[in-house]
Structure 1
C-alpha cells in the first residue's frame, strides 16, 4: 500500500505524464525540434538529432543548448516547435475525476511553453484541475532539472516540498525534487535512462496510480 497521506501539494510534469506517451504528441514536437535544429545549425537530420540529444543531456532542453552555443530567438523557437496539432490527444474525463479528489493543491511543472501547455491542458480537459501552471517562460528559460528552477517554482507557489509529491516521466528531473524533500513518482519506464534511489515509486500509468490511492487519512 502506497501511503501519500502526508502530501498536500501535487506536482505534475505534463508531456508523457498527464497523458500516455503512446498518444504520440511528443513525437510531433520532436520532429519540429529536429527540423528547427537542421535549419538553425545547418546539419543534416541525423547529425541534428545527435546534437539535440547532446543538448538534452548537457542542458536539459534543446533550447537551452542552442542558446548556450548559437544565436537564436527563444520566442521564435518556442512558438515554432510547439506549433503541432492536438488531434492525437484524447480528452481525459477519468483523469479529471482522480485529480479533483487529490487533497490539497495541484500544479503543472513543465519545460514546455505557455501557449502549448494551455492547449494541451485544454485538449485533455484538465485545466480547471490545477491551481497553477509553471512553464519554461516562468523559469526564465532555465529548464528542469536545474535546482534553481525547482526553487523558483516552490517559491512561486509557497509550499513545503516535504509535503509535496512530484510526478515525472524523466528520471533525472526527479533528482532535485527528491533532494528538496519531495516524494517522487516516475511515470513510465524512464525512456531507458538509468533509475536510482531518488525515485520513490514507479508507475506505468498515472491514471492507474492515482486511482489506486486512498486518502482517508490524507492531509487536509
Structure 2
C-alpha cells in the first residue's frame, strides 16, 4: 500500500536548515529503508526473548510484547520494570541479526558527509547495533558519536528527559539542530525544545510495524516529511544550508 502525495511535505512556517550546525538522526527505519529487513529481525528476536523469559508460545509472546510496547514505549523498559531483566543482555540478544540485507547507500553517505557541522545518531537501540548498521550503510565514519539507550539511562524516546540528556551530553544548541526520525510522536518534544524536525516515512507500508509509526502525520511539531532521505538531503537540505552541488 502506497501513501498518496506524501513524498515531500513542508509545514507552512516550518523551521528551515540555514542555521543548522548539528544534524541528529534516529537509526532504525530512518537511516535505512524498511526493505533492508533490519527491524523485522530485531522484532522477531524480541519475541523470542519474551517467549524464553515467560515460557510462552509465539502468539502469546507477541501479544505480550505489543502490550509492553504500548504501555512502556519499549519492550526493554517493560522487561526491566516487570522482570528485572539485564538491559545489556537483552540488547545483545535482540540485535544479534543478519546484517547482509543492508546495502551500502552511497547517495546517503555522500549527502550526510556534505552536511555542514556535527552529525550524531540518537537511538532507542544500542550503540553496537547503531555502529553495525551504519557501517554496513557506509555512513558510520560521518558521525561524531552515537547516543544510545544506555546513554539515556534506558529511558526511551519520546521521554523529554532523554532529549534533554542528549542535548546536554553533546552540548547541542537545539535552535541550531534538526532531528530526522521515523516516528511522529518522537518529534514532539524536540520541536518543543526548539529543534527543526523531519519525519522520514516509508515508501511502502511495512506490515511488521505498527501503522501509527508509519503515518505521514501533518502536525505543527513536524516541519518536513520525506520518504526519501538521501534525495531530501541532496535536493532540499544541502542547498538551503548553503552547500553548493558537488
Higher relative contact order (CA 8 A, sep 6+): 2
The alignment status of 1:20 with 2:39, answered yes or no, reads no
SS of residue in 1 equivalent to 2:222 = coil
The alignment status of 1:30 with 2:43, answered yes or no, reads yes
Matches of 2:96 and 2:239 in 1, distance apart? 43
After superposition, the Cα gap between the structure-2 partners of 1:214 and 1:136, relative to the gap in structure 1 and judged at 3 Å, is: closer
Matches of 2:239 and 2:59 in 1, distance apart? 52
Match of 1:208 among 199, 216, 231: 231
TM-score, with structure 2 as normaliser? 0.83
Matches of 2:125 and 2:177 in 1, distance apart? 21
SS of residue in 1 equivalent to 2:134 = helix
Instruction: Mark the runs of 5 or more structure 1 residues left unpaired by the alignment.
Output: none
Q: Figure out how many residues of one structure are paired with residues of the other and give that number.
A: 220
Shift of 1:41: 2.0
Matches of 2:51 and 2:95 in 1, distance apart? 16
Shift of 1:42: 2.5
SS of residue in 2 equivalent to 1:106 = strand
Shift of 1:152: 0.6
Shift of 1:136: 1.0
RMSD between aligned alpha carbons? 2.0
SS of residue in 1 equivalent to 2:194 = coil
Match of 2:153 among 122, 135, 140: 140
Matches of 1:72 and 1:136 in 2, distance apart? 15
The alignment status of 1:104 with 2:125, answered yes or no, reads no
Deviation readout 1:72-108 (Å, 9 max, x if unpaired): 2212111111001100000112111100111111110
8 Å contact kept, 2:17–2:240: no
- 4+ aligned runs moved over 4 Å, structure 1: 214-217
After superposition, the Cα gap between the structure-2 partners of 1:188 and 1:214, relative to the gap in structure 1 and judged at 3 Å, is: closer
Instruction: Mark the runs of 5 or more structure 2 residues left unpaired by the alignment.
Output: 1-8, 11-15
- Match of residue 121 from structure 1: 134
Matches of 2:104 and 2:150 in 1, distance apart? 26
Shift of 1:47: 2.2
Deviation readout 1:159-211 (Å, 9 max, x if unpaired): 11111110011111111111111111110159521633211111012112112
Shift of 1:219: 7.4
Matches of 1:65 and 1:120 in 2, distance apart? 25
The alignment status of 1:192 with 2:216, answered yes or no, reads no
**Please, which moves more after superposition, 118-127 or 25-34?**
118-127
